[in-house]
Structures are given as C-alpha cells and as structure tokens.
Amino acid sequence: MSGPDVAPAPPLTFVIFGATGDLTRRLLIPTLINMSRSGLVGDDLHILGIGIEPGGVDMLLERLDSFLATSGDMQEPERQEAWQSLRKRIAYISGDFTQNAVYDEISKYLSQAPSANAAFYLAVPPRFFGDVAEKLSANGLMNETAGAFRRIAIEKPFGHDLASARELNARLLSHANENQIYRIDHFLGKETVQNIMTTRFANMMIEALWNNNYIDHVQITAAELVDVGTRGKFYDSTGALRDMVPNHLFQLLAMVAMEPPNNFDAESIRNEKGKLLKALRIYSPEDAAKNGVRGAYTAGPLAGKDLPAYTGTADVAPDSSTETFVALKLLVDTWRWAGVPFYLRTGKALKARDTEIVITFRQVPFAQFPRPASRPQLPPNRLIIQVQPDEGLDMEISIKAPGLVLKTVPISLDFRYADRFDIGKQTGYESLFYELFVGDQTLFQRADGIEAGWAAVQPFLDLWAEGGKPDPYAPGSMGPACADDLIQRDGRAWHQPDEKPEGRQE
C-alpha cells in the first residue's frame, strides 16, 4: 500500500489512550510517520495523546523524540521530515481516564478540532477496555453526526476465556455499534497474510486443489526465539494458548480454510471467516486430552546467553503450571475439510523466529519411478506460506535430475516479497490504521469470530485448569517431545524452520 495507489485517509483526530506507553513509542508513532511519508495520511491528521503522567505536550514530544533518535530508520531525511510535520499536530491531556474530567477535556478539544472525525485507540491494559468504552459513550463521544465518524480500536487479548470474551463483547456493544468497533490483530496487517486470499482465489490451479481430495494436512507454526523476558507477570496469567491461538493462529487458519466470499467487502469476508471458526470441532474433555499438548522451557543456553527456566523468570510463580508452548490438532467439520487435520503450534525460546503455514498435499496414487530403499515414496508437494521473517511463498515439487538415469529430486519454486517489492521498514500496522481511518473492517475481527475461537480452545483451558504440569523442553529446540508425538502418531512430522528440499538454491 502506498500513496499513489490509494487516496489519503479523511481528516480526523487520532486519540491515543496510553500515549506515554511503550506501544505508542515503538509502534503507533512510527506507523503514523510511515503513513505520513507515503501519503496515506495528510496534514489534516491530528493526534491527541491521553496519559496519567503529569505534564504537557512538550513532555510527550521530548519522550518521543528521545526514543525515535535511537531508531536507524529516522536517519532517512524523508522520515525525519514526516516526523517534524507530524509532531506539530500532536496535543496531550494529562489525567485519569477512569474519571469524567479527562473526557470533558477530550470533548473540548474535539469541538475545536478542524474535523469532527475521531478514532480512539486504546493502548491500555485490557481490563480497562470496557471502562473506556463506557466513559466515551457516557460523555457523548461515540455519537456520530452526519458526515462524521467515531470509532474505537482495541488490540488483543479480547478476554481470557469464552465467558470473559462474551462479557467484553456485550459491554462494548452496549456502548458502540459493531461497525464502530475495530478489534486489531496485528498479524492481519502483514502483507503475506493479506495475500493468502489472493493466492487462493485469484489462481485456479491452487483453489481447484484446495480441499480434502488433494490436501493431506495443514500445519500452522508461530515460533518465537525470544523468551518471556520481563513480561513474567503478564505471561504467567496468560500462557501460550491464550496469548496466540484464539487470535493470531486462528486468524491464519480462517484465511487458509474459509470459503470464497460472495464479495471482497468487509462483511462478506468476515462472514466466511466466522462460519469457518464456528465449524471448528469442539472437543470433549477426553478428546482435548488426546489432541492438545503443552510445554514450558527449562534452563539452558539460548542465543549466546544462559536462560533461566520459565519458572525461574522474574514475576513467575516457582510452581507455575503456565505453558510457554502449545501444540494442537484441530478438525474443521465442513465438506471441504472433512478428515483434514490442522496442526497448530506456538512457543517461546524456540529454535528460530518463524511463522509459517505449510499445506501438505496427498501423495500421488502411483509413481513408477526408481526410488532408493531408504525413501520408497516421493516427497509430497507442499505450499509453504512464510509469514515472517523473509515473507514469501515456496512450492515444493519433484522433477527429474539431469543425467541419463531417471532420478527424481525435490525442488522449491520460491518467491520472496523483498526480491520484488519494497516492503522494508514497515511496522505492519500501516494497513490496519489506514482501514481504521477510512472505515473498512476487512482486517478486523468481529464479535462472533472471537467467541467462536474461544469456544474451540475452551476445552483445553478447562482440562489444564484441573491440574498437571507442562512438559519440559530445552531452549533452542522446537518444543517438547510430546509435540512430536502428537503429529507422529498420525504418520506425519512437523516441518522444520531450516528444512529445505534437496534442490533449493540459496
């Protein structure tokens, strides 16, 4: 997405609750700088920061300047110019956002703003989402007038289980309409994720094979090299399942497995994603025990340093039963996907940073090619969608090796976004913010989809709440042995981050 391709967003005030926080410095402001630089927003974008820290706008600007000075990207004259323009349109209100006085100040500011349009971004702890929405509504700040919009943007987690997700959605919807609520999952801002639909629905050779007649199974991996670090308090109350599966991984699953929408408008796409997530099989406690495993990393070396065990991390209970790794086998009960297992895994302190979707096709029914005794079958075709890092696509096929002997070898037809397009130095939020500003909810989650995702993982949450400990795994591995057992009992194996066909050239 770039300036020449789309019209700039309409004039508005972007109100950031939590303006002095880390998220604002690291992602929100750099995103707005990128958007300003590329023409996605104009000089009619104004930013109003809300924070509990005392002081005025000079305090906020000093903090932002200090952080941005450490960024190598800001050495580029175009980015520096965009920031200098943007910072002139930043204001700040100091106060407690649980009290009405702050909202009185916001009302005064917006009444004098050049445009009545406003988007409220909640960069605050999730427990305050409902409180802020209620205060905005009670103070008339969600009231839309002719030609002017009011929108709320919140980022996951959307609840911590099915009951809390339903409660949060009910509370939000009692103070705003669904078309005013933008639930952000930053995975949906990645170019590769957005490209999944195009790859499927714009290519007959792919979509024609996209069913249980040709696909053996699907793997979705979100591996993280980093450990829990300083986030022990948050993570110990959350864990890998809640943190990643019903949001990030299920959004990838939905994009891969949804039916073709009637239109590519927001509601048509979200309808199909919602139907897919509602088709995930809800396991009994017995089935959940068979189809889900979890782990926690032990002490050991990782990336050149000695890492303490998860239970030795600051702010983590020494007897914690919270998982830092989870692997699930899920089933989608539709005609297209009947019998096709979806294997999901995610964890921290793993071998590599790698988010990928691996579509493994069925074996050919008969192939009369000479094969060594050690490998009697041809390797299956695989389509690998690399989400991060090194975004791209790989199609693995078999060909004849050069020579007089008929010998098959696997090769990879690969495409990397960076080889063809300039996608560097983006935060991943640019498309999300642009669509928030223009009012397109395609990349945002809807209440029913969120609740369907929590419903599918609730059996695992209930099972693990009854007791037991996660299985141990070494830092720098790809998780505990039980994860390998989960997939190997079906005669399959996990795709490894560094696994490449014999014929792939680097």
Q: What is the CATH number of the domain that holds 389?
A: 3.30.360.10
224 appears as a binding residue in the annotation: yes
248 is a catalytic site residue: yes
pLDDT of residue 367: 64
88 appears as a binding residue in the annotation: no
CA 286 to chain centre: 30
Which tens digits make up the pLDDT trace of 292-349? 999 999 999 998 899 999 999 999 999 999 999 999 999 999 999 999 999 999 999 9
pLDDT of residue 1: 44
**Cα 389-391-395 angle, rounded to 5 deg:** 120
Residue 211 and residue 91 share a domain? no
The one catalytic residue in 160, 175, 217, 248 is: 248
**Closest Cα to residue 394, out of 423, 427, 416?**
416
Name the percent of the chain lying above pLDDT 70: 93
- 2 in a domain, yes or no? no
Residue 252 and residue 150 share a domain? no
pLDDT of residue 374: 58
- 209 in a domain, yes or no? yes
pLDDT of residue 131: 93
21 appears as a binding residue in the annotation: yes
23 appears as a binding residue in the annotation: yes
Distance from C-alpha of 240 to C-alpha of 238, rounded to nearest angstrom: 7
Is the pLDDT at 433 greater than 90? The verdict is yes
339 appears as a binding residue in the annotation: no
Residue 317 and residue 243 share a domain? yes
Judge contact between 397 and 381, C-beta under 8 A.
yes
186 appears as a binding residue in the annotation: yes
How many domains are there within the chain?
2
- 25 in a domain, yes or no? yes
What is the extent of the structural domain holding 305?
188-489
pLDDT of residue 40: 92
List the single range of 4-8, 293-297, 497-501 with lowest mean pLDDT.
497-501
Q: What is the dihedral of CA 351, 355, 361, 367, to 10 degrees?
A: -40
pLDDT of residue 504: 45
Residue 90 and residue 192 share a domain? no
22 appears as a binding residue in the annotation: yes
CATH number at residue 54: 3.40.50.720
- 125 in a domain, yes or no? yes
Residue 213 and residue 143 share a domain? no
Residue 314 and residue 225 share a domain? yes
Residue 388 and residue 272 share a domain? yes
Retrieve residue 367's tokens: 């192939």
Residue 270 and residue 354 share a domain? yes
